[in-house]
Every structure is written in C-alpha cells, then in structure tokens.
Amino acid sequence: MEKECAVVFDHVSKIYKLKKKGKNAGKPVYFYALKDISFQIPKGEVVGVLGTNGSGKSTLSSILAGISSIDSGTIKISGEQALIAINSGLNNQLTGLENIKLKGALLGLSKKRIKEIIDGVIDFAELGDFINQPVKKYSSGMKSRLGFAISINLNPDIIIIDEALSVGDKGFAEKCMKRMNAFKEEGKTIFFISHSLSQVRRFCNMGLWIEGGQMMEYDEINAVCDHYDAYVEADRQRSEEEKKAFRKKKFQKRVVKNVKVSLIERVLLKVKGGK
Ligand SMILES: Nc1ncnc2c1ncn2[C@@H]1O[C@H](COP(=O)(O)OP(=O)(O)OP(=O)(O)O)[C@@H](O)[C@H]1O
C-alpha cells in the first residue's frame, strides 16, 4: 500500500518583483523565486533541502509553513506545521514569555495547553531570567533557542528547520539534534534546510534539490548530495568571468515573460515616472 502523503506540491510557482535602478528604474522585473515545483512527500520522510544561495529554499520553507502565498499551482498539506528558522516571527517588543503566550493564543490553544507549553519552552530554551526580557535584548543565538523551543513544544506533525541550528552554540545544537532525532523516531515529517552536507547526509533519508528556483532532483539523500556536490564543485572551477556569465544566464531563466501588470500597478508606475 502507498504511504499517505504529508505534503504535495503540484506545479507550484512563486513570483517576486525586483525594482530596477538606473534608466529602467520604475520598470520592475518579475522573477520566479520558485518555478513549477512538483513533489510528493510521504508522511514520516526526513527531507534535506539543498540549493546554492538564493535558489529558493527559504521561499519554499515559508510556503510550507503557510506564511507565504503562491502565485500558481496547488499545495496539499496534512497535519500541523511548525517553522523553525533564524528569523521565526518572534515579536521583538514582547518578552520571551509573552511571545510564547502570543503564539499559543494565535493558534487558539487552551490556557492549560499554553501553560504546559510555557513550562516546556522555559525548560528547553534555558534562557533563565531573560525569558522576562524583551526579545530585542536577545542575541541571535538566544532568539534561535526561544524559536526552536516554541516550535518543538507545539508538537507539530510537519517540522521545517531553516538553517536554525547554525546560530546556536554547540551544546544547544546537539540538544536540538537529539530532539529532532526523537521526532524522526516518532515518524514526524521533517524538512531540513542546511548548507552542511555532512549534517544533511547524517540526518535525512531523502533529498530535495532546488536550483535557480527550479526543481533539480528529489531522490535518496546520498545520491542528491553527490549530484549537488558535483554541481557546486563545477561552479568552483569556473573563472570569475565564467561565474558571472553563468549567473546571468541562470537569472534570465527566472525572469517572468508576458507579465500582466494590474491597473493599480500601472497607475503607481506612472506616478513614479515609469512606463
Ligand atoms: N520578499 C522578497 N522580495 C523579493 N525577492 C525576494 C524576497 N525574498 C526572497 N527573494 C529572492 O528570491 C530568491 C530566493 O530567495 P530564498 O531566500 O528563498 O533563497 P535561499 O535558497 O533560501 O537562499 P540562501 O541559501 O542564501 O538563504 C532570491 O533571489 C531572493 O533574493
């Protein structure tokens, strides 16, 4: 029998607008942050998401987490998701404790459940008295601790980790990995975005490689890591000029042709002096 799917992407695209400088200022370029992405992830899969800088991994993670919308295609997600990212939506003005309460309230959790989560977060994050300080006074590592602790205590079915472990200290990163391994044992679906191939090889069983906003491969983790590694190495061998030309060509492939600009946008462009 086929395993039930946790996430299905069917021809998903996400478009961003790039404002140009110079003589073409005011005439925006639209480009695909993600272009025609399709995959099916069975429940319980641990997926390493790979791709060079700007390839679309964080865009994918915020779409997976339900934070970002898409411009075309369809998505099916079964289960609750939690995003664990460096900048995972903490409110800087509120204290750590207030952030936990806010997150719980936004999710419509009961007072009893929020109380349990508070205890769990305080215990895991080990922030001491800082839990009563505004988050703006936290270091990036402390924010990462709080964000991670909140997300895991919500006990989600689908966990998306976007480079979040790279800012914590070694001790905390090890503790997080231990918890992630426990989630893996429990059969949770995990997306693990990392530039560390050794970490990805160790932790994940499948690999999803995105390059220039397009899907390159979804396969067994070691095969995907080998192919990605070869791609990065080939880029490393290029001269600076070749690299420049390669990147230009790669970006051209992302440009959206025949964009329908809305009336409002045309008026705004006219006001700003564009055509
Ligand atoms: N809000 C935004 N508005 C316009 N462009 C954006 C926005 N967010 C991301 N982008 C662009 O979309 C593309 C994909 O970005 P994304 O952050 O998803 O890449 P990434 O693979 O996570 O990169 P990295 O490994 O550097 O973190 C990049 O070209 C980026 O500049």
pTM of the full predicted structure? 0.87
Q: Enter the ipTM.
A: 0.97
Ligand 1 centroid–CA 187 distance in Å is 30
Ligand 1 centroid–CA 55 distance in Å is 7
**Residue of 14, 32, 59, 228 best suited for mutating to test ligand 1, as the one with most atoms within 8 Å of CB:** 59
Would 33 be classed as within a structural domain? no
Would 39 be classed as within a structural domain? no
How many residues make up the chain in this entry? Answer: 275
Residue nearest to atom 7 of ligand 1 (CA): 16
Task: Please count the other Cβ atoms lying within 10 Å of the Cβ belonging to residue 243.
Answer: 13
Rounded-to-integer distance, Cα 145 and Cα 167, Å: 9
3-state secondary structure of 217: strand
Would 4 be classed as within a structural domain? no
Burial class, 88, CB count within 10 angstroms (exposed 0-12 / middle 13-18 / buried 19+): buried
Q: Among 41, 47, 49, which residue's Cα sits nearest to residue 5?
A: 41
Would 267 be classed as within a structural domain? yes
Q: Is the predicted pLDDT of residue 195 greater than 60, yes or no?
A: yes
Q: Please report, for residues 153, 209, 266, 275, the alpha-carbon distance to residue 127 in angstroms, rounded to integers and kept in the order given.
A: 15, 35, 50, 53
Residue nearest to atom 11 of ligand 1 (CA): 33
User: Any residues with CB less than 8 A from the CB of 272 and at least 6 apart, and which?
Assistant: 26
pLDDT attached to residue 79: 86
Rounded-to-integer distance, Cα 92 and Cα 4, Å: 39
Rounded-to-integer distance, Cα 168 and Cα 85, Å: 12
What letter does residue 157 receive in the DSSP assignment? Answer: S
Report pLDDT digits (tens) over 101-139: 998 888 788 889 899 889 899 988 888 899 999 999 998
Would 195 be classed as within a structural domain? yes
CATH number at residue 113: 3.40.50.300
pLDDT attached to residue 228: 97
Would 207 be classed as within a structural domain? yes
Report pLDDT digits (tens) over 150-190: 888 888 899 998 876 666 678 888 888 898 899 999 999 99
Rounded-to-integer distance, Cα 263 and Cα 225, Å: 45
Would 11 be classed as within a structural domain? no
77 residue type, one letter: I
String of DSSP letters for 67-117: SS--SEEEEEE-S-EEEEETT----TTSBHHHHHHHHHHHTT--HHHHHHH
Residue nearest to atom 2 of ligand 1 (CA): 16
Sign of CA dihedral 242, 244, 245, 251: positive
**Residue of 57, 86, 195 best suited for mutating to test ligand 1, as the one with most atoms within 8 Å of CB:** 57
Q: Is the predicted pLDDT of residue 230 greater than 70, yes or no?
A: yes
Would 1 be classed as within a structural domain? no
Rounded-to-integer distance, Cα 49 and Cα 70, Å: 19
Domains held by the chain: number: 1
Domain assignment of residue 62, given as a range: 45-67+80-271
Q: Is the predicted pLDDT of residue 19 greater than 80, yes or no?
A: no
